[in-house]
Homo-oligomer: A and B are copies of this chain.
Amino acid sequence: MAGDRRPAGARTSPTERRILAAAVHLFAEHGFDGTSVQQIVERAQITKGGLYHYFGSKQDLLQEIYQSLISRQLQDLERILAAGLDPPATVRAVIEALVISTAEHIDEAKVFARELNRLDPARLAAVRAERRRYHTAFRDLIERGQREGVFSRVAPADTVTLIVFGMVNEMPRWYRADGPKPASRFAAEVADFVLTALRPR
């Protein structure tokens, strides 16, 4: 089965966080296959026994990286949906939260984009189910706006969702924290673009 089942955010001890930070850095730099447990242990300044006390395997680390990124983004989403704003304000808040949190965790996002297929089937299914929850919630939001007439039917809600998540998932390819444009500005531009396309005629 899918290994560790503690919810994201449960990895709160300083040691666990140090191990995860080391793993994210090394996976982003050298790939999952190109990183050994020994390298993680050295970077995190811990013993192998210490690592295995917290994580059963390299696969556990990889899943924890995905799980914590997705869980954080799902929590943001639920918080925004619970605020009960109108659909345009909700879509703007969701896009901005997603772009900014991806920028803030760009190494995790890079590992996610490149190494997802290194997970074993059960773990992969668990991660994909979480991601699907996020996509479905976003698509439902667009669909509701289209039904209520606050969004145009310029494109089906599914297609709008693929456009938004395509852009976000590609951020690891080009986003640099020290680049010319802060993530918040880019996020606002994307939200403007999407909301303009969706504006009723």
Contacts and interface: CB of A to CB of B under 8 A. Distances in A.
A159 B189 contact: yes
Contacts of A169: 166, 170, 173
A36 to B, nearest CB: 15
A192 interface: yes
A194 interface: yes
A163 B192 contact: no
A156 B171 CA distance: 17
Nearest to A171: B166
Interface in A170-194: 170-171, 173-174, 186, 189-190, 192-194
Interface string A122-148: 000000000000000000000000000
Nearest to A156: B189
A74 interface: no
A8 interface: no
24 contacts: A33-B33, A114-B114, A114-B117, A154-B193, A154-B196, A155-B189, A155-B192, A156-B189, A159-B186, A159-B190, A160-B193, A162-B167, A162-B174, A163-B163, A163-B167, A163-B190, A163-B193, A165-B170, A166-B169, A166-B170, A167-B167, A169-B170, A170-B170, A193-B197
